[in-house]
Amino acid sequence: MHQRANARQRAVEGELAKREGADVERAQAIFGRFRTNLEESLRRLEDEDRDAGAQFALFDDQRRQRQRDIARMGERLAQLDDDERREVAGLRARYEDVRPYVTAAALVFAVSEQDAAAWGGRR
* Span of 23-27, 49-53, 59-63, 81-85 with lowest mean pLDDT: 49-53
Q: What is the pLDDT of residues 68-94, one digit of tens each?
A: 999 999 999 999 999 999 999 999 999
Banded pLDDT at 122 (limits 50, 70, 90): low
Three-state SS for 10-74 is: HHHHHHHHHHHHHHHHHHHHHHHHHHHHHHHHHHHHHHHHHHCHHHHCCCHHHHHHHHHHHHHHH
Cα separation, 83 vs 100, in Å, equals 32
Give the CA dihedral 12, 14, 16, 20, nearest 10 degrees. 180
Banded pLDDT at 26 (limits 50, 70, 90): very high
Cα separation, 78 vs 75, in Å, equals 5
Cα separation, 66 vs 25, in Å, equals 34
Cα separation, 57 vs 114, in Å, equals 95
> What pLDDT, on a 0 to 100 scale, did the predictor assign at position 53?
64
Give the residue-averaged pLDDT of 50-56: 66
